[in-house]
Amino acid sequence: MKVTTILTTVAVATPALFLAPGVHAHGGMVVPEPRAIRTMGLSIDSTFGHPISVRAAYTNGKGGDCLDFTADTNLQSIPVGTSKIQMRTNDGANHIGPCTMYLVNPSDKSKKQQIGQLNDCMRSLHPAAGNKGDPPIPAEMTINVPENPEVCGKDHCVLEFYWEATHLDPHELFNNCADVKIGGGGSSGSTTTAPAPAATSAPAPAATTAPATGGGSYVYSGPARADSASMTTWCNQNCPSFCPTDICKAA
């Protein structure tokens, strides 16, 4: 049976994912393409890449955690063994902090199996900090997919990308999920590769200098929500250095 592996064709098949203008948010996994885009209709230039706590305002009651988003019935294929996923950050926000990849049971999100980890993952292809107004910054990280996952059947798993941005305290948390099936890809020996062990290095430390803050000069301007006061705090933690115009505005 022929299995099409999307992870090896990103440069040809998905250039728009890295070149779209007018960005206003952080970022996340773009290949495999996540539920946030495929089933929730969020924008790759903004809402798909908001922190989990912020994204809840845009999902019509589905919350901000991608594991609770509408499942994608058009499953994407990923190969057994070692391959790479593709990410991007918007508006220069390639913050420091670790990323972890999981396979998740589509019926029980508490059942997870780690298949990859990389510190400062969003700087994997662009080591320097980005600047506001920069075009999308691409990134990538390696995953190692077992032939027979412990937590899900290979005919349907959820691939979760989880990013803990440590430039702020408390840290900002992001995730993206893609519905996938496992098989094919790589060399003939790839199917016998054991899953990568959990990384032994500690996550990257938080930035040693305090981030610039708005000092009360900014307010939350997004859709109405019960925790708008906490969102105003978020705006003042991030603005003016990073200030998404669809969420924050000058007071």
- Give the model confidence (pLDDT) of 24-46 as tens digits: 468 999 999 999 999 999 999 98
Banded model confidence at residue 230, pLDDT cuts 50, 70, 90: low
Mean pLDDT, residues 112-127 taken together: 96
| Lowest-confidence pick of 16-20, 24-28, 243-247 | 16-20
Instruction: Return the pLDDT at 199.
Output: 41
Mean pLDDT, residues 148-157 taken together: 97
Q: What is the mean pLDDT of the chain?
A: 79
Q: In the Cβ-directed half-sphere of 5, how many Cα atoms lie within 13 Å?
A: 17
Mean pLDDT, residues 229-245 taken together: 65
Helix H, strand E, coil C: the string for the chain is CCCCCHHHCHHHHCCHHHHCCCCCCCEEEEECCCHHHHCCCCCCCCHHHCCHHHHHHHCCCCCCCHHHCCCCCCCEEECCEEEEEEEEECCCCCCCCCEEEEEEECCEEEEEEEEEEECCHHHCCCCCCCCCCCCCEEEEEEEEECCCCCCCECCEEEEEEEEEECCCCCCEEEEEEEEEEECCCCCCCHHHCCCCCCCCCCCCCCCCCCCCCCCCCEEECCCCCCCHHHHHHHHHHHCCCCCCCCCEEEC
pLDDT tens digits, 44-77: 998 999 999 999 999 999 999 999 999 999 999 9
What count of other Cβ atoms lies within 10 Å of the Cβ of residue 186?
A: 17
Rounded distance between C-alpha atoms, residue 185 and residue 171, angstroms: 36
Rounded distance between C-alpha atoms, residue 166 and residue 189, angstroms: 38
Mean pLDDT, residues 194-198 taken together: 40
pLDDT, greater one: 203 or 28: 28
Instruction: Decide if 115 contacts 101 (C-beta within 8 A).
Output: yes
Longest CA span, the chain: 60
Banded model confidence at residue 198, pLDDT cuts 50, 70, 90: very low
Q: What is the token pair recorded at 23?
A: 């960005």
